[in-house]
Structure 1
């Protein structure tokens, strides 16, 4: 197959799971061309793997010059698949593909703002020119089908795969500097504060603990020092063991140093990358049962899954790790194995290849 991809590959860490799909397809014998920003960090790796890179990405919505540029490449290259990953690409790539035999595939990575009555959806996902839509998780596909049942065959769930080798820590994070003693269990939540992250419930969960509970909680990310959170921390029996770290570039080192990764999200997310990173590092997860993370962690096998919005259940999950510390190692190893098998990048490559071949067969 000849595949043209239009996406933004300027940030290696964020875009690696996506970029490696097309390196995998290139290695399987398909001819991949990437259209992205000239200064994209991933360009060199694409080139090293035999992928042609076109240093271009649309900057405006429905821009005549961008549409013409993309169309010229589609005609000249005689591509089988046009795969796009963002709105600027969609709004220029779709009109560029008008009347051409290329199969057009879009991508959706989050569950929110999908509605049949939204007119903008018909310029993108619900457009008759779209042949397929890759959904990051099954919850997204179900929302699409509910809102566009006439197009249900277009939507396909394919998780972005990972590889544990991508997540290498470059240094150590000193837990002792924060008063963590031998035998105490350290929990970490890495997230920028938004209501959907449910940090309020995580902090309330510490109110169910005793003052001498051997537990430390680290909060990493922007907005963790907001007054509402500080008030809950000051009222917690563990107020001296809750540590606000703010935004950190060494987040992998922090996660790697801790025992358990906590996700207290309430809604709106697809599969959460921070959890995948923690699982890749062999950290035991404690997450909430939001639709986007369905089957990411199997509760009682590769971590613990609790009801979203329940401080009590979060506290019970934390206590389970405290009372049965052997689960930290057991679930951590199982979580890492789950990433390397069920959510491995090689599986994603195979599923993209199969989806493209199905579209071409039609």
Structure 2
């Protein structure tokens, strides 16, 4: 089978990792796989170098006609059995391609409960019938698309993201390695956050919650944040204004996220909105306790309301983090094992790949 994945970009994000993992697994099963990406550089890529990565060069509205023609030529030359697009720009563009050239099967996957405002939802709706199948990554995100009339009636399917348990698992040696690298003593409690510095991730929510923790006389605690993005300067200013520069470490982009998760005592997701909450599942797979905002599909991933808080409520977030810190060792161990079992039973990449194979052949 020939499979063409089309995605908005290959930056450092959850959707990008999902597509590259899926491409790798499909290639390993003997399929011919290519990935076309619309814009940006390559920060996330498949393991297998045989999977061709093709840049479309959609950099502005003025480049749209050229990008459209290039994608047409790619499809016409490759003649894929399945075109599987991901994220709003790629989804709309591939649907428009179908108006000109036949596609055997087109599947469009959204990765968020919030993929933009009215115009984007309208574009989804008016092009809906050009796709054979529209999916989203959680029930909550799929329901959001229905409520926003991005799809007709309930014509959308939930297909969860998969976690590669061969990459994300607990690594016992990681804590000492990370502590040594960052020059942190072993008696510190480590809180970790991972994600782009953008509005969606709502880092001010986390920073203000962390300030409350520090004001509660919790001394031996560090907040590590792995990621980068357009709001980095703004986040650095907030850290300085809250007088937390010695307590928070901005690690930038990292290639050792499983090690960081294994080293941390607690993972925190402070997002304003999400689609699936991939990093929550990854942290759970690494046996890390999680506190998260109840947004998008995070509740479906975490499956425990005791560790969920409302979005944009830093006081509640601080209370929940403190509650988690104060769990006794037996409670922590029980929760870690419960979380791991939930991930292995519902979100393993192997299971999700089998589901996609059924949809591709169906």
**Alpha-carbon distance between aligned partners in 2 of 1:46 and 1:159, rounded to the nearest angstrom:** 26
2:266 counterpart (244, 257, 260): 260
- 1:250 to 1:128, Cα distance in 2 relative to 1, 3 A: closer
> What is the RMSD computed on CA atoms of the aligned residues?
3.8
- The equivalent residue for 2:304 is 299
Q: Is the 8 A contact 2:192 2:266 kept in 1?
A: yes
- Per the alignment, do residues 245 and 22 of structure 1 end up closer, same or farther by CA in structure 2, a change over 3 Å counting? closer
Structure 1 pair 119/217, CA: closer, same or farther in 2 (3 Å)? Answer: closer
Structure 2 counterparts to residues 172-321 of structure 1, below 5 A: 172-174=177-179, 180=185, 182=187, 184-205=188-209, 206-207=211-212, 212-213=217-218, 215-220=220-225, 221-222=227-228, 223=232, 226-233=236-243, 242-249=247-254, 252=257, 253-265=259-271, 267-299=272-304, 304-321=307-324
State the 1:102 CA deviation: 1.6
**Residue 151 of structure 1, CA deviation:** 2.2
**Structure 1 residue ranges without an equivalent (≥5):** 48-52
Match of 2:20 in 1: 19
State whether residues 121 and 127 of structure 1, in contact with CA within 8 Å, keep that contact through their aligned partners in structure 2: no
Q: Is 1:141 the equivalent of 2:135? A: no
* Secondary structure at the counterpart of residue 111 of structure 1: coil
> What does 1:69-218 align with in structure 2 at a 5 Å threshold?
69-73=73-77, 77=79, 79-85=80-86, 87=89, 90-91=92-93, 94-96=96-98, 98=100, 100=102, 102-115=104-117, 117-118=118-119, 121-122=122-123, 126-148=127-149, 151-152=152-153, 154-167=155-168, 172-174=177-179, 180=185, 182=187, 184-205=188-209, 206-207=211-212, 212-213=217-218, 215-218=220-223
Using the alignment, how far apart are the partners of 1:214 and 1:44 within structure 2? 41
TM-score (norm 2): 0.75
Q: Which has the larger radius of gyration?
A: 1
Question: Secondary structure at 2:143's aligned position in 1?
Answer: helix
Please give the secondary structure, in 2, of the residue aligned with 1:91.
helix
Closer, same or farther: CA 211–123 of 1 in aligned 2, 3 Å:
closer
| Distance verdict in 2 for CA 1:202–1:13, change over 3 Å | closer
Deviations 1:128-160 (A, max 9, x none): 322222212223211221233762454211112
Partner secondary structure for residue 219 of structure 1:
strand
The unaligned stretches of length 5 or more in structure 2 are 59-63
Count of residues in Structure 1 that have an aligned counterpart in Structure 2: 338
Instruction: Measure how far apart 1:7 and its partner are.
Output: 4.2
